[in-house]
Amino acid sequence: MENVDRLAAMFPSSSRNAVLSWLLVGVLALIAIGGGWLEAYASVLFAVVAIVIATAPAVTFRDLTVMPPWYFLFLIALPVLWEAFGPQPLVTGIVPALAMGTLGLLAVVELHRFTSLRLVPWFSVVLTVVLTLAMIGLLNVLWWSSDTLFGTTFLLDGRSQDAINAAVMIEFSYAVVAGLLAGLVVYAHFRFSDETVGSRTGTAPSPEPDAEAARSVDPVVLSDRLGIPTDRQHALVRAMQLVLVGILFYGLLVRDLPVITNAALALVITFVPAMLRQNYALPIEPGLALWVASAVFLHTLGTVALYDAIAPYDHLTHTLSASVVAAGGYAVLRAIQLHERSIHFPPWAMFSFLLVFILAIGVIWEILEFVADQSALALGLDPVLAQHGIDDTIVDMIFNVFGAILVAAWGTLYLVELSEGLADLLEERLET
């Protein structure tokens, strides 16, 4: 890590920045007070959390000049400022999503400064985009849960399930744009910022993590834990592939586009582990290949009949599919940690980042599902991917999180060799 920690230095010791930042903290305090008066409790919660995050460096260092860059606080307060003083109300959710993404970034940077979490600027840019999507997804899950359990009307306000779902999908799409804009803002900050760096805030607080220690985790082979001989595991994957071929031919015979598409994609995915093992020498053992194949196989069976016949079946496939995606996310994150010596994810951070990652992927997936569904309806075709209202969307996202929790709490030991293989591949490719 450099002598000056550029992430920790995001809190410059500058009088001009401090004055502007404290003025914006005052604005956030007024938002909290006004929101309480108007019973707008969501605004109160957002403002209070923003104030705590914004003032934490000043409180920690007992120095009122150590504050986040004022323009970040401006982005956080912008939605309310616009509603109060803008010429017309906001017509999109881009600005609120941008505010949430910026707030999430500041929280992560403070964790970098005050805990054992270590990041680098390029990763913080990527994380900003992911955080923006995850926070919007989490917010809608919380709103839906409150409406369902306590009778509030954040989302379930009397409109039809499909109308609410369409509005949320549009909000998710705005969040994608906002995430990219937030990432550009963070990139511009590191690219062009010339703020004065305080000696206490800009110095790396602890030595770099030991890369060899990060590799010292003992791997566990999933194939051994399954209690099934490896040749049987290979045979199960081959049997699933044969069934998928049969489903594909059935779809072609009856001209069922959703069955054809899902079976073909699932069949291709079942060969990906073998391709990665053969072409890139990644240590993907039979248990991992069986895990991946089971997820896409069960999903394809659902498209044939089981989704309509068994209501909870969708929850099973979402949980299993999300566990595969979370496993891939963990392997990539740990490979980055092993490759990039200045990055360190303590266990709590890895757990949190997996949940953030799967929430963000869930938002993107739901957008794609919505686009596929609406495009098929517009063209008069059967949808390859279909949505069934806001309840279906939010419950899917909740079970996605369950899948990520299973991987974070139970499955990471089975991914140690894969993540180390990915790190070695990075080293090899970047050196050539």
Query: 280-319 pLDDT, tens per residue?
Result: 889 899 999 999 999 999 999 998 888 888 888 999 999 9
The total number of residues shown for the chain amounts to 432
CA distances from 195 to 66, 69, 118, 222 (A): 12, 9, 21, 50
CB 97 within 8 A of CB 179: yes
Q: Which residues, 6 or more positions from 133, have their beta carbon under 8 angstroms from its beta carbon?
A: 172, 175, 176, 179, 359, 360, 363, 364
Domain range list for the chain:
1-193, 224-431
With a cut of 60, say whether residue 254 has pLDDT above it.
yes
Banded model confidence at residue 144, pLDDT cuts 50, 70, 90: very high
With a cut of 90, say whether residue 212 has pLDDT above it.
no
Task: Write down the pLDDT at residue 184.
Answer: 87
Query: 167-185 pLDDT, tens per residue?
Result: 999 999 998 988 888 888 8
Sign for the CA dihedral angle at 13, 349, 326, 371 comes to negative
Task: Write down the pLDDT at residue 3.
Answer: 43
Task: Write down the pLDDT at residue 417.
Answer: 86
Task: Write down the pLDDT at residue 81.
Answer: 75
CB 203 within 8 A of CB 8: yes
Which position has the higher pLDDT, 212 or 70? Answer: 70
Task: Write down the pLDDT at residue 196.
Answer: 45
Q: Which residues, 6 or more positions from 280, have their beta carbon under 8 angstroms from its beta carbon?
A: 425
Banded model confidence at residue 376, pLDDT cuts 50, 70, 90: confident
Task: Write down the pLDDT at residue 217.
Answer: 61
- 3-state secondary structure at position 344: strand
What would the mean pLDDT of 335-348 be, rounded to a whole number? Answer: 88
Q: Which of 397, 407, 412 is nearest to 318 (CA)?
A: 397
Q: Which of 243, 218, 275, 430 is nearest to 341 (CA)?
A: 430
Name the amino acid, one letter, at 341. R
